[in-house]
Amino acid sequence: MNTPTRSAYTMPTADVSREQSLVDAVTVLTAAARTGSDFAEFLTHAVAGTAANLGGIEELLAGRPGSWEAHYVSCSPPPSATTSNTCTATAPNH
């Protein structure tokens, strides 16, 4: 499965709200989950592709680098998709 790149996706315009972006993402992820294929693989490639488009996992998580959510997202992409994979079994307290 190829990971989508910036050239394969039209970036949303500035006037698209965060909420609409979330609705769009949930719609796409739900459709992908219903295909019956390996959803975990699809989701991993989607997160890795997004990180690559931004310059790396650190840039993807820059808004909340120490959060428990960021911890689990940083564990998701394969090590080859990040500059450093510091995933541990224990997440930060939330």
How does pLDDT run across 65-78, given as a tens digit for each residue?
788 888 888 876 55
Question: Average pLDDT per run of 10 along the chain, which is 94 residues long?
Answer: 55 66 93 92 89 91 85 69 51 55
pTM: 0.62
Residue 11's pLDDT is 52
* Domain extents in the chain: 37-94
Residue 87's pLDDT is 60
> What is the largest distance, in Å, between two alpha-carbon atoms of the chain?
39
Give the tokens for residue 14.
Answer: 């500035």
Residue 55's pLDDT is 93
Residue 93's pLDDT is 59
Closest CA to 48 of 35, 33, 60: 60
Give the tokens for residue 89.
Answer: 């079994």
Contact between 74 and 82 under an 8 Å Cβ cutoff? The reply is: yes
